[in-house]
Amino acid sequence: MKNFERDNHSDSYQAMAAISKVTWVLAAAVIIAACSTKKEPETPLPEPSKFEIHRGTNIAHWLSQSERRGEARATFFTQQDIRFIDSAGFDHIRLPVDEEQLWDVNGNRNDSAFALLDNCLSWCNDAGLSVVLDLHILRSHHFNAAEKPLWTKVEEQDKFIRLWHDLASFVRKWPNDKVAYEFMNEPVADKASDWNRLLERVADSIRSWEPERVLVIGSNRWQSADTFDSLQVPIDDRNILLSFHFYEPFHLTHYKAAWTRLKDFKGTVNYPGQIVANGKLADERRIYNRDTLEKMMSKPFALAAELNLPLYCGEFGVIDGAPEDAKMRWYADMVAIFEKHGVAYANWNFKSGSFGIVDDRLMPDTAMVRLLTGKR
């Protein structure tokens, strides 16, 4: 009995060894085959939406930063303005809108404001103009306010996303190649990481509703070119338009602006060259020209190149009353830089009392309009 059991065990061990050998050989063959097989390429990212813009203008002080209501608001900007913008040679508008104009404090729509928004989008569609829809000012965030609850209260961030959900539900009927969403203008958080976290959350939310809509995003602290290296862009999202704003040198662009430290400025502003003739302070003695302006934009240029994303200067301009020759030379240099680097742009702004390129009767600054539209 013992010998029989031992013989059976011996036969079993031999069989198991043979099976193990075969198993090992098969496994080795599978590994070799896997290693010798050409690796399939990763699934390519989807093609970006064809939202293409070049030269535009901001429609300021209509549905944003304005006390006009009723008939005054309805007549300030009309289809006639859109027809002029199109005929002048612009291909898009940037349309700022404010929370307080579109919604009451409880988030209910202001029907008359939404009707004006819808009219504007219809006019642009009829004219073949694209639109960057910019939620410019929130009740919880004004870029120049001392207190900005958006950064300290989660409920305000939740509300911000609800507002965008409502706005997107109203606007989403317009095609992706005609309307882009700039979900926040000039964020100003204490830390760049606060903005980057909120940016990611809002972008993820909008992507759940509209995966292919172009989103326009910029860096913390007024979308400054200087802070672009702190911007964290959503990963593997090709429907992004990077945006910066540019108002340097401030002595020229905000010459004697009543809401700034320059309101009582008495010096003589010059461009190009030393910005304040006979200036005594360091910022007054600084030299500005096309080369210095281009260098100041290097961070947006670098990020756009690194990520292979398009770049947009959504605001730039010089206030009325600044020395005209210096103003025109600055605009010419700015446009030349944008054209050199393939940057789309929208001047600030179309029709207002301090930065406009036309007056209330649609009488244009012809030289300025021609410069901005490439007809100079």
Look up residue 263 and give its DSSP letter: T
Identify which of 298, 297, 304, 270 has the alpha carbon closest to the alpha carbon of residue 284.
270
Tokens of residue 16, six digits: 């198991």
Q: Which residue has the higher pLDDT, 17 or 57?
A: 57
* 110 CB-contact burial (10 Å; exposed 0-12 / middle 13-18 / buried 19+): middle
In DSSP terms, 273 is beta-bridged to: 288
Average pLDDT over residues 47-66: 93
The predicted pLDDT at position 137 comes to 98
The predicted pLDDT at position 15 comes to 36
List, for residues 258-307, the tens digit of each pLDDT value. Answer: 999 999 999 999 999 999 998 999 999 999 999 999 999 999 999 999 99
Q: How confident is the model at residue 42 (pLDDT cuts 50, 70, 90)?
A: low
How many angstroms separate the most distant Cα atoms in the chain? 118
Give the amino acid at 95. L
Q: Are the beta carbons of 346 and 93 closer than 8 angstroms? A: yes
Identify which of 232, 341, 234 has the alpha carbon closest to the alpha carbon of residue 297.
341
Q: How confident is the model at residue 217 (pLDDT cuts 50, 70, 90)?
A: very high
The predicted pLDDT at position 32 comes to 35
**pLDDT at residue 85 greater than cutoff 80:** yes
Q: Which residue has the higher pLDDT, 3 or 229?
A: 229
**pLDDT at residue 20 greater than cutoff 50:** no
The domain limits of the chain are 1-37, 55-372
| β-strands 240-246, 215-217 pairing | parallel
Q: Are the beta carbons of 310 and 326 closer than 8 angstroms? A: no
CA distance 132 to 186: 14
Class of domain 55-372: alpha beta
Q: Are the beta carbons of 245 and 186 closer than 8 angstroms? A: yes
Q: 314-335 burial by CB neighbour count: b if 16+ within 10 A, else e? A: bbbbbbeebbeebbbbbbebbb
Average pLDDT over residues 326-342: 98
**pLDDT at residue 184 greater than cutoff 80:** yes
**Least confident residue range of 7-16, 68-77, 359-368:** 7-16
The predicted pLDDT at position 235 comes to 93
CA distance 158 to 173: 24
Q: How confident is the model at residue 17 (pLDDT cuts 50, 70, 90)?
A: very low
Containing 56, the helix (H) or strand (E) segment is: strand 55-58
Three-class DSSP category at 32: helix
**pLDDT at residue 241 greater than cutoff 50:** yes
Average pLDDT over residues 101-105: 98
Peptide bond preceding 249 in cis form (omega within 30 of 0): yes
Output the average pLDDT for the chain. 89
Tokens of residue 229, six digits: 């290296």
The predicted pLDDT at position 46 comes to 61
Average pLDDT over residues 17-42: 37
Three-class DSSP category at 134: strand
CA distance 219 to 199: 10
